[in-house]
Structures are given as C-alpha cells and as structure tokens.
Amino acid sequence: MSKKSTHILILKKEDSFRDRLKGFCADVGKTRVASDMESAFDLITRHSFQLLLLDWDLIQPEFSVFWQMLDNFQPDARKIALFKAPQLYDVIAVMKAGMNNVFWENQDSEVLKGKLKDALSQEKPDAVAHSYISQLAECLADRAVARKTSLFKARKEFSKTFLNQILKQQKLKHYQLAGLMSVTPRTLHRQLLK
C-alpha cells in the first residue's frame, strides 16, 4: 500500500501522545487528527481510512453508537485502541470489543512504528458492496437523540450521509448519482454540502 493511498485517523485527546503518533503516521500515510468525538464522527462519515487509532477513554462512553458508525463507514479499517497505561482488564475488554491491537503512551518508539506498519500490512477483507440502511438509520437516530437534534436536521443528516455512502461504496461520480436521482449535479452538490 502506497503512502498516497494510506489514510489514518487518530482520535486522541492528549497532545503529547497524539503528536508522537502523528509523526509516526506521517511517514506511512495521510493522517487526520481529532481530539473529540464530534470531530471523529465527522471525519469517519466523510473519509475512508485504512487505520483508526482510537482513544479508548473517549470512545468507551459512546461505544455502541461509535461501533455502529465504524461498521457502516469503516468496515475494513484496522482499529487500534490507545491508552495512557492499560490494565489487563482494559486490554481484554478492547479485544472483546473487536479492536485489532492496543498502543500505549510508554511503548518504545521503534515498537510503535513496527506495530503501525504491521497493522497496515495485514490483509483486509473485501469491502461490502451494499449499504446497511437500517443499521445506518438506527445509528444516526441514536446520535440525533443523544445530541437532541430536531427531526428536520436529523433527516437532512441521514440523506447527506446516505448519499455520501452510496458515492463511496458504489464508486460513482457525482454526475452519475445525479443522473440516477434525476437531479442536476448542482442540486446533488448542494444536498451534500448542507
């Protein structure tokens, strides 16, 4: 996998470990960083990633909603939990939850770099070619309830998210999807930007 085609997301609140990971990741691919759940949700729904480095302390309180989001938008990404210093029961919980590995702040830099490259070199299953509409609707509904979003705004977010997912999974160009929907490309573009 080339550096140009490798995309990595780091969700970590603390600057020091996040910046250290960002330095390692910059050597192997394009890296995006989020320090809170809202930014992470936004990046996950808009971009495809091969590797997700996720702060367990941030995702644990909203784990079920977050995991559904990952299943819908990042089904073939490798997922690594980040800890300041994990306890054995934390590591067990993370692995049971479906994470592929664990990184912690005190690990040796060379070990982290090696684990990072290993995670990116592992075979990934083929991407699913269809959308799970009911799971997507449920996931976004849970998110809207948690945020206390109005029905109108939640419906707009679902439409935009669903259209972006169709574009990504079916590898369609904007004008092709606009043609299927019998709207102009400009109308589709406005819908995706709202």
- CATH number of the domain at 89, please: 3.40.50.2300
For residue 2, name the pLDDT band (cuts at 50, 70, 90).
Answer: low
Residues 158 and 115 in one domain: no
User: Would the pTM count as exceeding 0.75?
Assistant: no
Residue 99 lies inside a defined structural domain of this protein? yes
**Each residue of 90-120: pLDDT tens digit?**
888 888 888 888 998 888 889 888 888 888 8
Task: Provide the number of structural domains found in the chain.
Answer: 2
Residue 157 lies inside a defined structural domain of this protein? yes
For residue 54, name the pLDDT band (cuts at 50, 70, 90).
Answer: very high
Residues 117 and 139 in one domain: no
Residues 92 and 187 in one domain: no
Q: What percent of the chain has pLDDT over 70?
A: 91
For residue 10, name the pLDDT band (cuts at 50, 70, 90).
Answer: very high
pLDDT of 129 > 50? The answer is: no
Residue span of the structural domain in which 79 resides: 7-121
Residues 153 and 92 in one domain: no
Residues 101 and 152 in one domain: no
Residues 94 and 144 in one domain: no
Residues 84 and 166 in one domain: no
CA–CA separation, 178 and 172 (whole Å): 10
pLDDT of res. 131: 45
